[in-house]
């Protein structure tokens, strides 16, 4: 499945400072649909190069990270259970505090 993943607010530093990744993620075997839960595990093992604790806590993202599926807060689409479709754009952004 073709997906575009974007990292911002400093999270890109965890994946070689690259903000936009066009990726091809395979459906896990015996699953009919790709969920955010699968995608997070995939991101963690394929894109995150350092300090994974800065990205994830348990099986979800750490506090202070917003997840947007097609420009929409994943809270509105079921968080980890959100199902993904081909060409979806998923943004992971860390909240900023500076000024």
Partner 1 sequence: MESNGGVDESTRLLRELQSLKDSKRDIEARISVIEAQLQQSQSNQLLDKKASSDCPNCVSDSGHDLTPDMIYRYSRQLLLPSFGVKGQSNLLKSSILVIGAGGLGSPALLYLAACGVGRLGMVDHDVVELNNLHRQIIHGEAYIGRSKVESAAAACRSINSTIEIIEHKEALRTSNALEIVSKYDIVIDATDNAPSRYMISDCCVLLGKPLVSGAALGLEGQLAVYNYNGGPCYRCLFPTPPPTTACQRCSDSGVLGVVPGVIGCLQALEAIKLASLVGEPLSGRMLLFDALSARIRIVKIRGRSSQCEVCGENPTLTQQNFQHFDYENFTQSPLSPAPLKLKLLPEGSRITSKEYEKVVKNGNTHVLIDVRPSHHYKIVSLPNSMNVPLANLEEKLPEMESVLKGVESVYVVCRRGNDSQRAVNVLHKMGVFNAKDIVGGLESWARDVDHRFPTY
Binding site for partner 1 (CB under 8 A): 8-10, 19, 53-54, 62-66, 68, 71-73, 75-76, 91, 93-99
Q: Are 9 and 95 in contact (CB under 8 A)?
A: yes
- For residue 97, give both structure tokens: 């505090």
Closer by beta carbon to partner 1, 28 or else 80: 80
Minimum separation from the CB atom of position 71 to partner 1 (A):
5
Q: In 3D, which of 46, 78, 76 has the Cα closest to residue 60?
A: 78
Minimum separation from the CB atom of position 81 to partner 1 (A):
15
Closer by beta carbon to partner 1, 39 or else 90: 90
Minimum separation from the CB atom of position 2 to partner 1 (A):
20
d(CA 65, CA 54): 9
- For residue 28, give both structure tokens: 């896990």
């Amino acid at each position: 499945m073709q997906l575009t993943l974007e990292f911002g607010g400093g999270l890109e530093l965890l994946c070689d400072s690259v903000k936009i990744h066009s990726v091809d993620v395979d459906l896990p075997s015996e699953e009919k649909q790709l969920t955010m839960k699968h995608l997070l595990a995939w991101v963690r093992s394929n894109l995150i190069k350092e300090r994974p604790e800065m990205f994830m806590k348990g099986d979800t993202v750490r506090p202070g990270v917003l997840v947007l599926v097609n420009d929409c807060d994943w809270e509105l689409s079921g968080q980890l259970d959100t199902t993904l479709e081909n060409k979806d754009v998923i943004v992971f952004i860390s909240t900023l505090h500076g000024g």
